[in-house]
Amino acid sequence: MAPAAPAPAREAPAPVSRPEGIAIAPSAPDTAPSEPQGDLTADAWLELVAGSQLNGPSKQLAAHSAFISYQHGVLKLAISPGFEYLSSDRSQAALIAAL
């Protein structure tokens, strides 16, 4: 009996790159905004989350999202790898709707 041929070497899969944050563009308001339009700050983000009508997973997503920047109508947030499970499509949609 002939020796078995060695199995072909497998290449390791390429690492998956993860975005550092979520870019959320605000929707156009139907009425006049209740807060002045300007650059949002990290402190203002925390106040916005605390005063929001969000609940459940979308509230947790907002609470665990770190403020990165708000420029030209684009809000950039980041979330720690341990809390990525909160970033479902449904939670993101609720957060976007609340903004």
pLDDT in tens, the chain (99 residues): 556 666 555 665 555 555 556 666 555 554 434 443 456 888 988 998 999 889 999 999 999 999 999 888 888 999 999 999 999 999 999 998 988
| pTM score | 0.58
Per residue in 82-93, pLDDT tens?
Answer: 999 999 999 999
| HEC assignment per residue over the chain | CCCCCCCCCCCCCCCCCCCCCEEECCCCCCCCCCCCCCCCCHHHHHHHHHCCCCCHHHHHHHHCEEEEEEECCEEEEEECHHHHHHCCHHHHHHHHHHC
